[in-house]
Chains A and B, each alone.
Chain A
Amino acid sequence: MIELRGVTKLYRTDRIETVALEDLDLTIGYGEFVAVMGPSGCGKSTLLNLMGLLDEPTRGSVAVGGRPITFGSDAALARLRNESIGFVFQSFHLVPDLTVLDNVEIPLLYRKGTASERRRTALAAIERVGLASRAHHLPSQLSGGQQQRAAVARAIVGKPRLLLADEPTGNLDSRMGDEILALLQGLNADGATVVMVTHDTRLADSAHRIVRLFDGRQVQ
Chain B
Amino acid sequence: MSFATLRLAVRVLWRRKVFTAISLFGVTFTLLVLVLVSALLDGLLAPRPPESNADRTLAIVHARMVGENMRSSGPPGLGLLEPLFRDLPGDPIVSMQIQARTEAAWVDGAKHPVEIMRTDGAFWSAHDFRFLEGRPFGSDEDASGAAVAVISKYARDSLFGGAAADGRTFELDGRAFRVVGVVDDVSSLRMRSFAEAWLPLGSLPGAPDRTALIGNFTGIVIARKEADIEPLRAELAARAARIPLGQSQYTSLEVPIERQAQAIARELIGADPGDGDPVRRIRVGVIVLSLAFMLLPALNLVTLTMSRVLERAPEIGVRKAFGATRGQLVAQFVVENVLLTLLGGLLALALAPLVMAAIASSLLGIGPGLSVSVSVLLQGLAFAVVFGVLSGAWPAWRMSRLPPIEALRGRSG
Contacts and interface: CB of A to CB of B under 8 A. Distances in A.
Do A and B belong to a common assembly?
Answer: yes
Contact of B403 (A56, A83, A106): A56
Chain B binding surface SS class? helix
Interface string A20-51: 00000000000000000000000000000100
A146 to B, nearest CB: 18
21 contacts: A54-B320, A54-B403, A54-B405, A78-B320, A78-B324, A79-B323, A81-B320, A81-B322, A82-B323, A87-B322, A89-B318, A89-B408, A93-B317, A93-B408, A106-B318, A107-B322, A110-B319, A110-B323, A110-B324, A110-B325, A115-B4
A105 B11 contact: no
B315 interface: yes
Interface in A61-111: 74-75, 78-79, 81-83, 85-87, 89, 93, 95, 97-98, 102, 105-107, 109-111
Nearest to A118: B4
Contacts of A168: none
Nearest to B7: A102
A95 B332 CA distance: 14
Interface of B: 2-4, 7-8, 11-12, 15, 314-315, 317-326, 328, 403-405, 408
B323 A97 contact: no
A55 interface: yes
A149 interface: no
Contact of A97 (B3, B15, B405): B15
A93 B318 contact: yes
A95 B12 CA distance: 11
Contacts of B322: 81-82, 86-87, 106-107, 110, 154, 158
Among the interface residues A49, A95, A158, which one has the most CB atoms of the partner chain B within 10 A? A95
B8 A78 contact: no
Nearest to A157: B322
B2 A109 contact: yes
A106 B329 CA distance: 12
B321 A109 contact: no
A216 interface: no
A198 B404 CA distance: 22
A75 B7 CA distance: 25
A21 to B, nearest CB: 13
Contacts of B408: 54, 89, 93
B403 A75 contact: no
Contact of A107 (B2, B3, B323): B323
A152 to B, nearest CB: 13
A158 B320 CA distance: 14
B309 to A, nearest CB: 13
Given A75-B325, A82-B323, A106-B322, A49 B405 contact: yes
Contact of B314 (A74, A83, A93): A93
A78 B405 contact: no
Given A54-B405, A55-B405, A98 B320 contact: no
**Shortest 3 CB-CB contacts between residues of A and residues of B:** A82-B323, A110-B323, A107-B322
A82 B314 CA distance: 17
B216 to A, nearest CB: 67
Contact of B2 (A87, A95, A115): A115
B325 A55 contact: no
